[in-house]
Amino acid sequence: MAAEHNGQLGTIVEVLEKVLDKGLVIAGDIKVQIADVELLTIKIRLLVASIDKAREIGMDWWETDPYLCSKANQSYQKLQAENDSLTQQVASLTQRIQDDLLSLD
């Protein structure tokens, strides 16, 4: 029995090693529609791979997700502040142009 158990464990370890080395992707979509109106879409993606393999194939979302990475959260907040500033500048310039156009009348 011990020999069989060790053989099975060896096989499982080999399969896991191959999956982590090559990667395994499972993908699926669930859509709820009524009369051609999409009400809900759920996208399910599962990637089983080593971190090195995932990076090699361009999968590094965990490094840029603000909920998973503090650096990404800081970058997101910086971009949000920059976006807010630019939005205010555009609004100010738009208001100036409108005022200038009204003054020409």
Query: What mean pLDDT value characterizes the chain?
Result: 80
What digits encode the pLDDT tens for the residues 61-102?
A: 777 777 767 776 677 778 889 999 999 999 999 999 998 888
Q: Which residues contact 48 (CB under 8 A, 6 or more apart)?
A: 19, 20, 23, 24, 25, 26
pLDDT at 89: 95
Average of pLDDT values for 39-46?
A: 85
pLDDT at 1: 46
Q: Is the pLDDT of residue 12 over 80?
A: yes
Domain segments of the chain as ranges: 23-104
| H/E run at residue 74 | helix 70-104
pLDDT at 3: 47
Q: What is the pTM of this model?
A: 0.36
Q: Which residue's entry shows tokens 């709820």?
A: 32
